[in-house]
Every structure is written in structure tokens, then in C-alpha cells.
């Protein structure tokens, strides 16, 4: 397997960070600090960084401000949301589910959802393609 580096972006012009290698240690506290220091966090209700990406799975660390929403009506993939800090309220199949710090919400494919941050929240989103 070849190592894959992420390309530079507008928000992260340095690029060059490896996101697809045979093994990868992800320093979550360092990435949280990075997210909170970037311009995007200062001007928006969220900021995210892809910390791992392969052809079958993606892991995205996301910082959400209170009331920020993640929503989809036509999800294609299985996913999990691990609340690292804060609290979420998920609306899934007409049910409201509270997801606290340390808990994980797992959703099968094709399940529409709305996720709302009840306060400033950090999540680790894993998407299985």
C-alpha cells in the first residue's frame, strides 16, 4: 500500500499530512487544538479535519458550536459519531436521542438524521463507504 498525503487546501495550505497509510497514529488532542486555533472555527459554527481516509473508511474530527447541525436526508453510508467532549441531540426516525461525552451513536446506511450540538462539542465521525 502506498502512503497518501492530503493535498493543500484553502484552510490548510501546508498540506502534506498523511491520511492513508498501512498504520497511522492519530493525535486527537493535537488535532482538537489545531481545529480551535484556525480561522474557520473563529468565523463559523464548525470546523473539521479528515484524520484518516481510505477507499472504504473516513475518520473526521469535528468541532461544533452550540446549535450547529449536521443533517442528511439521503445518507448512503454506515457511520458512527463518538462524542469526545460536549453533548449532542440526534433526531433519528422521529426520535430524539441524547448522546453525551464518551458515548457513540452508530447509524446504519439509509437512515436520515439531524445532529444538533447541545453545547460546544467535539466529535469523531467515522464513515464506512
3-59 residue pLDDT tens: 555 555 556 556 567 788 888 999 999 999 999 999 999 999 999 999 999 999 999
Q: Could you tell me the residue ranges of all domains in the chain? A: 4-128
- Who contacts 59 (Cβ-Cβ below 8 Å, separation ≥6)? 26, 50, 51, 52, 53, 124, 125, 126, 127
What architecture is domain 4-128? Answer: Sandwich (2.60)
Cell numbers standing for residue 89 = 441531540
Q: What is the pLDDT of residues 80-108, one digit of tens each?
A: 999 999 999 999 999 999 999 999 999 99
Closest CA to 9 of 19, 24, 22: 19
Grouping H, G, I as helix, E, B as strand and the rest as coil, residue 1 is coil
Amino acid at each position: 500500500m502506498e502512503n497518501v498525503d492530503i493535498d493543500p487546501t484553502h484552510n490548510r495550505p501546508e498540506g502534506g499530512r498523511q491520511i492513508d497509510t498501512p498504520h497511522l497514529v492519530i493525535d486527537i488532542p493535537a488535532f482538537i487544538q489545531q481545529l480551535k486555533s484556525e480561522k474557520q472555527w473563529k468565523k463559523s459554527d464548525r470546523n473539521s479535519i479528515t484524520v484518516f481516509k481510505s477507499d472504504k473508511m473516513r475518520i473526521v474530527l469535528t468541532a461544533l458550536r452550540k446549535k450547529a447541525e449536521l443533517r442528511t436526508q439521503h445518507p448512503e453510508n454506515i457511520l458512527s459519531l463518538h462524542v469526545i467532549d460536549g453533548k449532542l441531540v440526534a433526531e433519528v426516525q422521529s426520535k430524539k436521542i441524547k448522546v453525551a461525552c464518551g458515548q457513540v451513536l452508530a447509524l446504519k446506511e439509509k437512515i436520515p438524521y439531524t445532529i444538533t450540538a447541545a453545547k460546544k462539542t467535539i466529535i469523531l465521525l467515522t464513515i464506512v463507504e
